[in-house]
């Protein structure tokens, strides 16, 4: 009898434990962010479900009369462990409060099989904010799609469809959803093709809400800036958004929603892929006006430009370096700007020491800063004045050319100090090595009498060779030093001698970028290699070097047409790739790797036949 009672008790305990374990296999949590929000603001409610379950449904939210509720997506994952398979669901909602107050959201229920689970309550504090009291109505009056009511759609617009060359066009892709469709994953966006434009990605914009035909839509936007390189008629192509619609056994009772499903997507399995496309947008690009164009026009189109000229010292010595910085900043695409005209001041030697540029994208407007750095070497003492630098640009807002100017700089140049010995500079190491003295201190006095060796009547071959080595070393160092001094004093010779070597380095880097799977970075590197090589041979600035300048220079050196055609083909491929979406196949059907090899071949030909 006792044994039966013990077995009965054990069975009851095991059954209770099994029931508790089954109930504890599923957990439901609710989180809101932020906890305090103004009226008309946005609160994100995330409901997470984890555990072992096979059949489930959407969470059951309590009545939320003080909020407008939008479903913002659903995600699901599975994991396998020693205890078996478990699931994880995450449901995201956006709540827009209508009235101020403190609101408690409870209960949030979730049904798994024949059981119901409840999340802990969450609290939201809504405060009054006059600036955000209500969600503004959209000015859109027409239907977003000719097919009628849509739970999700996309639309592309531009802020202007007629611009000048190099004037910014802001292209916007809007992703609209009314919350009736859930997404399994984040939408994948493919940007539009835009041949003839220079494109820049802009920072993403905060989500907002719009009323369209009496329905509330959550809108997420992606923006791009386009700059046309030449006048004419152009087209910004369609963009694509790839979605994975959640069809985890859930349908709306709305008949128009069911219509949309049947008409657009057909029968569903779990996670239905859908692609949405925008319409292409025609754009007219006007040439910059010829009337009133200054002779020193830089090619820059923008607004609010400022120019400054600065030196690191106002007092210097003859022969001592002065670092000079020319800085330009403002709105516009600085990548297309040529180098401002800056004439070498009288009484100075001037060397270019570098160029740096920065790009900013504030308030969806592309702006930048470009710095040109020089080294001035004073040749004469006295009071000197560096003349102002002028820059001309076109302002599309006012449709006129403008000229800005830096302030002149006064310098006091003092006599140089006398040096003991000579100064040797080894440029490649990044450090200066100075010979400060000429004295030689001997360790032992020279003997008065040196007796000849009895073994040899005269100096042997080894003896002569060993004593000739120091002499050869001295002669070699003199020749090397003369070469280095010549390269320091003759900038043209220095640039020409290193031109092929620098181009080879850049082409090697282009090969590495291609092998690393970065084809978009390859063409700018190839262009820099070719243009930099020609600029070094011409002793010109690469920033202002045009294709016509290159051809005139090479024709003057007797370059054959077939060799010039190879160079034209490389530069055309690079320019086309930078102004359009080019993949592994470049313009004209030539692959990226073939373009690199053609550039290397062209540089070798010109270096050997015409520019040696």
How would DSSP label each residue in 515-531? HTT-GGGHHHHHHHHHH
Q: Are residues 517 and 595 in the same domain?
A: yes
Ranges 39-43, 110-114, 401-405, 496-500, most confident: 401-405
Confidence tier at 279 by pLDDT (50, 70, 90): very high
Residue 382: pLDDT over 50: yes
Using a 10 angstrom Cβ sphere, with 0-12 exposed, 13-18 middle and 19 or more buried, the burial of residue 111 is middle
At 450 the pLDDT is 52
Q: Which two tokens stand for residue 490?
A: 């003759």
Tens digit of pLDDT for each residue in 432-478?
A: 444 444 444 444 454 545 555 555 555 667 777 777 777 787 777 77
Q: Are residues 123 and 157 in the same domain?
A: no
Q: Is position 88 within any domain? A: yes
Residue percentage of the chain with pLDDT more than 90: 15
Q: Are residues 194 and 100 in the same domain?
A: no
Positive or negative, the CA dihedral 295, 296, 302, 306 is negative
Tell which residue, 509, 506, 498, 510, has the closest CA to residue 611: 498
Residue 198: pLDDT over 50: yes
Using a 10 angstrom Cβ sphere, with 0-12 exposed, 13-18 middle and 19 or more buried, the burial of residue 475 is exposed
- Bridge partner list, 52: none
Cα–Cα distance, 333 to 366 (Å, whole number) = 7
How far does the chain reach from its first CA to its final CA, in angstroms? 113
Which among 132, 165, 187 is the end of a domain?
132
Q: Is position 544 within any domain? A: yes
Cα–Cα distance, 476 to 483 (Å, whole number) = 11
Q: Which two tokens stand for residue 337?
A: 């700007």
The answer to whether 27 and 219 have CB atoms below 8 angstroms apart is no
Residue 231: pLDDT over 50: yes
Cα–Cα distance, 186 to 63 (Å, whole number) = 28
Instruction: State which H helix or E strand residue 532 sits in.
Output: helix 522-538
At 170 the pLDDT is 93
At 310 the pLDDT is 92
Q: Are residues 277 and 301 in the same domain?
A: no
CB atoms within 10 A of CB 415: 11
- Bridge partner list, 103: 124
Confidence tier at 267 by pLDDT (50, 70, 90): very low
Q: What is the dihedral of CA 91, 97, 98, 99, to 10 degrees?
A: 140
Q: Is position 444 within any domain? A: no
The answer to whether 230 and 196 have CB atoms below 8 angstroms apart is yes
Q: Are residues 537 and 604 in the same domain?
A: yes
Q: Is position 203 within any domain? A: yes
Q: 3-state DSSP: the chain helix, strand, coil percent, rounded to 5?
A: 25, 40, 35
Give the position of tokens 């396998």: 80
DSSP state of 261: I
Choose between 254 and 171: higher pLDDT: 171
- Bridge partner list, 281: 236
Domain count, the chain: 4
Q: Are residues 195 and 230 in the same domain?
A: yes
Q: Which two tokens stand for residue 97?
A: 């409060």
Q: Cα 471 to the chain's mean position, in Å?
A: 56
State the residue range of the domain holding 583. 491-609
Residue percentage of the chain with pLDDT more than 70: 73
Q: Is position 138 within any domain? A: no
Q: Are residues 257 and 335 in the same domain?
A: no
Lowest mean pLDDT among 161-170, 485-494, 564-573: 485-494
Cα–Cα distance, 63 to 343 (Å, whole number) = 75
Tell which residue, 376, 369, 372, 306, has the closest CA to residue 339: 372
Cα–Cα distance, 138 to 240 (Å, whole number) = 24
Q: Is position 429 within any domain? A: no
Residue 33: pLDDT over 90: no
Cis peptide before 34 (omega within 30 of 0): yes
Q: Are residues 105 and 159 in the same domain?
A: no
Choose between 122 and 130: higher pLDDT: 122
Q: Is position 447 within any domain? A: no
The answer to whether 365 and 168 have CB atoms below 8 angstroms apart is yes
Ranges 32-36, 131-135, 181-185, 211-215, most confident: 32-36
Cis peptide before 107 (omega within 30 of 0): yes
Q: Are residues 277 and 219 in the same domain?
A: yes
Cα–Cα distance, 319 to 185 (Å, whole number) = 66
Residue 320: pLDDT over 80: yes
Give the position of tokens 């639309």: 155
Tens digit of pLDDT for each residue in 568-602?
A: 888 888 766 654 433 444 444 568 888 898 999 98
167: CATH: 2.60.40
Q: Are residues 80 and 192 in the same domain?
A: no
Cα–Cα distance, 132 to 125 (Å, whole number) = 15
Task: Tell me the average pLDDT of the chain.
Answer: 76
Cα–Cα distance, 612 to 602 (Å, whole number) = 14
Quick one: average pLDDT of 254-272?
Answer: 48
Cα–Cα distance, 232 to 165 (Å, whole number) = 9
At 587 the pLDDT is 45
Which among 241, 256, 284 is the end of a domain?
284
Residue 80: pLDDT over 70: no
The β-bridge relationship of strands 281-286 and 162-164 is parallel
Choose between 237 and 78: higher pLDDT: 237
Q: Are residues 301 and 269 in the same domain?
A: no
At 436 the pLDDT is 46
The answer to whether 280 and 343 have CB atoms below 8 angstroms apart is no
Choose between 192 and 354: higher pLDDT: 192
Quick one: average pLDDT of 234-253?
Answer: 74
Cα–Cα distance, 145 to 279 (Å, whole number) = 11
The 3-state DSSP class for residue 203 equals: coil
Exposure class string for 213-240: b at 16+ Cβ within 10 A, else e = eeeebbbbbbbbbbbbbeeeebebbbbb
Q: Which residues contact 202 (CB under 8 A, 6 or more apart)?
A: 170, 223, 224, 225, 361, 364, 366
Q: What is the dihedral of CA 31, 33, 35, 37, to 10 degrees?
A: -140
Confidence tier at 91 by pLDDT (50, 70, 90): confident
Tens digit of pLDDT for each residue in 326-342?
A: 999 999 888 777 777 77
Tell which residue, 122, 124, 123, has the closest CA to residue 30: 122
The answer to whether 47 and 29 have CB atoms below 8 angstroms apart is yes
Q: Is position 374 within any domain? A: yes
117: CATH: 2.60.40.10
Cα 382-383-389 angle, rounded to 5 deg? 130
499: CATH: 1.20.120
Q: Are residues 275 and 192 in the same domain?
A: yes
Which among 414, 440, 475 is the end of a domain?
414
């Amino acid at each position: 009898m006792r044994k039966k009672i013990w077995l009965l008790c054990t069975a009851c305990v095991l059954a209770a434990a099994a029931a508790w374990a089954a109930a504890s296999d599923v957990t439901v949590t609710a989180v809101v962010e932020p906890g305090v929000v103004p009226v008309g603001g946005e609160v994100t409610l995330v409901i997470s479900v984890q555990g072992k379950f096979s059949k489930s449904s959407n969470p059951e939210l309590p009545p939320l009369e003080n909020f407008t509720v939008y479903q913002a997506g659903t995600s699901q994952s599975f994991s396998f462990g020693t205890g078996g398979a478990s699931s994880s669901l995450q449901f995201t909602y956006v709540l827009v409060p209508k009235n101020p107050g403190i609101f408690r959201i409870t209960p949030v229920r979730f049904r798994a099989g024949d059981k119901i689970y409840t999340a802990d309550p969450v609290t939201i504090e809504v405060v009054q904010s006059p600036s955000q009291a209500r969600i503004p109505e959209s000015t859109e009056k027409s239907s977003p799609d000719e097919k009628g009511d849509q739970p999700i759609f996309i639309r592309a617009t531009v802020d202007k469809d007629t611009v000048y060359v190099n004037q910014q066009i802001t292209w916007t892709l809007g992703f609209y959803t009314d919350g009736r469709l859930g997404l399994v994953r984040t939408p994948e966006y493919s940007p539009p093709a835009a041949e003839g434009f220079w494109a820049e990605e802009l920072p993403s914009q905060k989500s907002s809400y719009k009323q369209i035909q009496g329905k509330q839509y959550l809108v997420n936007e992606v923006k791009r800036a386009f700059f046309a390189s030449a006048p004419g008629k152009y087209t910004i192509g369609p963009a694509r958004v790839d979605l994975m619609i959640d069809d985890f056994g859930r349908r709306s009772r709305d008949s128009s929603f069911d219509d949309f499903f049947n008409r657009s997507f057909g029968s569903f399995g779990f996670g239905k892929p859908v692609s949405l496309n925008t319409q292409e947008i025609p754009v007219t690009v006007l040439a910059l006006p010829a009337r009133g164009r200054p002779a020193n026009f830089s090619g820059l189109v923008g607004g609010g430009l400022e120019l400054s000229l600065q030196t690191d010292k106002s007092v210097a010595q003859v022969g001592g370096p002065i670092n000079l910085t020319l800085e330009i900043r403002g709105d516009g695409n600085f990548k297309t700007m040529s180098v401002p005209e800056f004439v070498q001041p009288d009484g100075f030697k001037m060397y270019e020491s570098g160029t740096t540029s920065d790009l900013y994208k504030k308030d969806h407007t592309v702006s930048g800063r470009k710095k040109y750095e020089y080294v001035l070497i004073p040749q004469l003492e006295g009071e000197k004045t560096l003349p102002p630098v002028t820059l001309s640009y076109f302002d599309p807002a006012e449709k006129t050319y403008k000229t800005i100017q830096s302030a002149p700089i006064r310098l006091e140049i003092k006599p140089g100090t006398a040096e003991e010995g000579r100064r040797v500079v080894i440029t490649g190491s990044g450090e200066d090595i100075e010979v400060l003295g000429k004295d030689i201190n001997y360790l032992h006095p020279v003997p008065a009498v040196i007796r000849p060796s009895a073994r040899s009547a005269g100096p042997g071959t080894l003896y002569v060779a060993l004593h000739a080595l120091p002499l050869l070393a001295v002669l070699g160092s003199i020749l090397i030093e003369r070469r280095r001094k010549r390269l320091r004093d003759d900038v043209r010779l220095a640039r020409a001698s290193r031109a092929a070597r620098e181009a080879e380095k850049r082409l090697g880097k282009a090969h590495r970028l291609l092998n690393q799977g970065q084809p978009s970075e390859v063409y700018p590197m190839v262009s820099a290699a070719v243009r930099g090589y020609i600029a070094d041979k011409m002793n010109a600035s690469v920033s202002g070097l045009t294709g016509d300048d290159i051809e005139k220079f090479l024709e003057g050196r007797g370059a054959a047409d077939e060799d010039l055609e190879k160079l034209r083909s490389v530069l055309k491929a690079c320019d086309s790739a930078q102004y359009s979406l080019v993949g592994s196949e470049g313009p004209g059907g030539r692959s990226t790797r073939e373009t690199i090899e053609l550039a290397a071949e062209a540089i070798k030909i010109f270096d050997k036949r015409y520019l040696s």
